[in-house]
Amino acid sequence: AQRVTQPEKLLSVFKGAPVELKCNYSYSGSPELFWYVQYSRQRLQLLLRHISRESIKGFTADLNKGETSFHLKKPFAQEEDSAMYYCALYGRGSTLGRLYFGRGTQLTVWP
C-alpha cells in the first residue's frame, strides 16, 4: 500500500540556516514524488517534482529509492519560506491521478 510519512509536524530554523524537510514513502512499484506548498492565505500549489530534477525557489529534493526518501532541502532558508509543506506520492498503475499526501510539515523561518 502507498504511504507517505513526514516525521516532523513543526520545524523552525533561523534565516540563513540550512533546512531539510523529511519525507519517507512506501510503495512497491515505481513512484513519482512531489512537494506541495501552502503559504499563509494562499492555495496549495506544486513546488517541485522529482522527475524534473530542478531547483525551485532554492529548494531541491532527490529521490533516494534505497532509503525510500524524498527530503526537501534548501541551503539558506528565507523568511518567505515559512509555509506548510506536503510531500505527495503518485504511483504508476494506481488509480488515475490519485495522490497520497503526507501529514505535512509547518516550517517557520525566524528573522
Q: Which of 1, 9, 93, 111 binds another protein (CB under 8 A)?
A: 9
20: contact with another protein by CB under 8 A: no
Distance CA 86, CA 109 (A): 17
Q: Which of 3, 17, 45, 75 binds another protein (CB under 8 A)?
A: 45
Q: Which residues pair with 61 in a beta bridge?
A: 72
Nearest to 82 by CA among 34, 25, 17: 17
Q: Mention every residue, 6+ apart, whose C-beta is less than 8 A from residue 28.
A: none
74: contact with another protein by CB under 8 A: no
101: contact with another protein by CB under 8 A: yes
| Binding piece for another protein, criterion CB under 8 A, among 16-24, 37-45, 59-67, 73-81 | 37-45
